[in-house]
Amino acid sequence: MGELYKLKHVTGEQVEAAVLAYLADPTPGMRLTAEGVAIDIAAVILANPYA
């Protein structure tokens, strides 16, 4: 996700919206973040100790 953000394929607002949606419903699975971009936020959190 960091690379997509650096390349401006997703905005900070889109990342924040995806995280807030995950916090409201922490069901694992892919979530649309931006047009053509989907991430599994639960997997990102599990893979990144900082998250």
Q: What is the pTM of this model?
A: 0.70
d(CA 10, CA 51): 18
d(CA 23, CA 45): 12
pLDDT in tens, 2-31: 787 788 888 989 888 888 988 999 888 998
Name the domain count of the chain: 1
Query: Can you give the residue range of the structural domain that contains 35?
Result: 12-47
In a domain, 2, yes or no: no
In a domain, 17, yes or no: yes
